[in-house]
Structure 1
Amino acid sequence: MRKDVLTNILLAVIAIALVAIAARPYVSPPTVAADSAAAHALYIEPGVQNLRYPDGTGQVYGKVVVDLRTGKIWGFPTGTVDPYPSYPLDSKPAVSRPFALGRYAFEDTDK
């Protein structure tokens, strides 16, 4: 008899917990932000390109990234044909600093 009471109490607790979980979206629905934009609207060109420095001092392999909000084009040097920065002589992870390659005039497409 004692086991039946304990079992019924545990089943009641489980049932109440399930009802609370199921009712939560109806009681306090999550906020929706349909008009929010991504933090960075970037297009990363597939593959690795041969990038020329804007001042004409040289070339380096790297990734081309376009900021879709402003039209700015950035080059992220990788140093090799690998799609990520790698410097085998250094044991620390490599960090690629971008340099400006140019800009697309997206605002002229409305004319």
Structure 2
Amino acid sequence: MRQDGLTKLLLFVIAVALVAIAVRPYVDPAPALAQASSAHAFYIEPGVQMLRYPDGTGQVYGKVVVDLRSGKVWGFPTGTPDPYPSNPLDSKPTTSRPFALGKFAFEDTEK
């Protein structure tokens, strides 16, 4: 008899827990988020800037991009004042490879 009462009690506890799990989305629904976090949190500075190579060997037109996760600042050469990489002598699309310009110490803002 004691075994039967314990079994019924455990089944009742399990049933209540399952009902609580099933009812929770209706009582306290999760908010719908219209904006998902981006995979790459970059800020792209508007316009084209004259970028200096860190070693001082030259300058080139390019876009300034800040990685908001790490604070690193990158320069993407465009070669011309155009806002995209281009080569006037070649009709194929050009790929711009970044070079490091510096770093913002975002972690110091928490001090």
Q: TM-score, normalised by structure 1?
A: 0.67
Match of 2:56, as an amino acid?
G
> 2:108 is paired with a residue of what secondary structure?
helix
Amino acid at match of 1:70: S
Instruction: Give the drift of 1:33.
Output: 7.2
Counterpart residue number, 2:63: 63
Q: How far apart, in 2, do the equivalents of 1:103 and 1:57 lie?
A: 20
Which residue type is aligned with residue 90 of structure 2? Answer: D
Aligned amino acid, residue 56 of structure 1: G
Question: How far 1:37 moved relative to its partner?
Answer: 2.6
* Alpha-carbon distance in structure 2 between the residues aligned to 1:46 and 1:38: 19
Tell me the residue number matched to 1:105.
Answer: 105
Superposed, 1:1-111 pairs within 5 Å as: 37-111=37-111
- Listed one character per residue, the Cα deviations across residues 83-104 of structure 1 (whole Å, up to 9, x for unaligned) are 0011011121011000000000
Indicate the percent of aligned positions where both proteins have the same amino acid: 80
CA separation in 2, counterparts of 1:108 and 1:81?
A: 34
Deviation at 1:38, TM superposition (A): 1.0
Structure 2 unaligned regions, length at least 5: 1-31
2:91 & 2:81 partners in 1: Cα distance?
Answer: 19
Structure 1: state its 5+ residue gaps: 1-31
CA distance in 2 between counterparts of 1:47 and 1:33 reads: 31
Q: Which amino acid aligns with 1:93?
A: P
* In 2: Cα distance, 1:90 partner to 1:38 partner: 33
Q: How many residues align?
A: 80
Letter in 2 for 1:85: P
